[in-house]
Amino acid sequence: MEQIDKFFNDKNEVSGDAAIDYSQSGDYLEAVKALARTTYQSLYVINYQTRGFEYVSDNPLFLCGKTSEEVKALGYDFYFQNVKTADVEMLIKINEAGFEFYETIPVHDRKMYSISYDFNLINGKNMVLINHKLTPMFLTEEGQVWKALCVVSLSNNSSSGNVVVSKEGSADIWKYDLTENSWQKSEKVKLSSREYEILSLYASGLTINEIATKLFITADTVKFHRKKLFDKIGVNNIAEALSYAKTNKLI
């Protein structure tokens, strides 16, 4: 329990007698389960009042060889069993910084924000770098996160970290510097319509020639727009571009 307490702090304390409008949740788990059936991503729900997992989908990426019920029963102990020590310490740091940031947001806006970061899961003898997104679902009447939805997918980055907070409907993003322990505000890159099309088609798995055919342009023109895109967002290849786009919600 002492280890798990590291993932919680006074800034988001949801006690057993916290003022909560319980009617807001309804049968929300049915919607989450329906979403899990339609995506390759792993989904789970954190309940900050019980300090555990309320739901874990059957999607295998997050399970590390366990069943969803086993991971649900483990709750935060799952991290200490299946995340390397350095990344656990990083997650605790991100958690603290995230809730400090959250305290600065007006209560009525808090559901609009999400945080994204990468860390390694230990799956047997393999290390798998995953991207983890967390967004509030339900709040207490004082604005603490009561329940949050987490979405896990494979990361296209090459290392842990890459902490980004974004707001729905806003061009603003905040990146957390794990060395300087500070948030840096910037704006999402604006893609041209052609860059957006090409990036979206790459995300669908199409090759350069297939993209060219679909857009009625030459392969060289695809390469030209791809190079402009790489320069604009500061990446070297399409894998990095797709990772950047996913993290910063460009596609």
Least confident of 2-6, 68-72, 108-112, 218-222: 2-6
Provide the whole-model pTM.
0.80
Q: Residue 1: is its pLDDT beyond 60?
A: no
Q: Residue 81: is its pLDDT beyond 80?
A: yes
Q: Residue 138: is its pLDDT beyond 80?
A: yes
251 SS3 class: coil
Please give the Cα distance from 80 to 82 (Å, whole number).
Answer: 6
Fold of 193-247: Arc Repressor Mutant, subunit A (1.10.10)
Radius of gyration of the chain (CA): 19
Mean pLDDT for 180-206 is 89
Q: What is the mean pLDDT of the chain?
A: 89
pLDDT band of residue 69 (cuts 50, 70, 90) is very high
Mean pLDDT for 176-180 is 94
Q: How many CB atoms lie within 10 A of CB 234?
A: 10
Cβ contact 199:245 at 8 Å: yes
Look up the CATH superfamily of 4-187.
Answer: PAS domain (3.30.450.20)
Mean pLDDT for 2-9 is 68
Instruction: Give pLDDT, residue 219.
Output: 93
| Digit-coded pLDDT (tens) for 100-122 | 999 999 999 999 999 999 999 99
Q: What are the residue boundaries of the structural domains of the chain, listed by start?
A: 4-187, 193-247
What is the token pair recorded at 41?
Answer: 């991503």
Query: In terms of DSSP bridges, do strands 126-139 and 113-123 run parallel, antiparallel, or are they unpaired?
Result: antiparallel
| Digit-coded pLDDT (tens) for 204-230 | 889 999 999 999 999 999 999 999 999
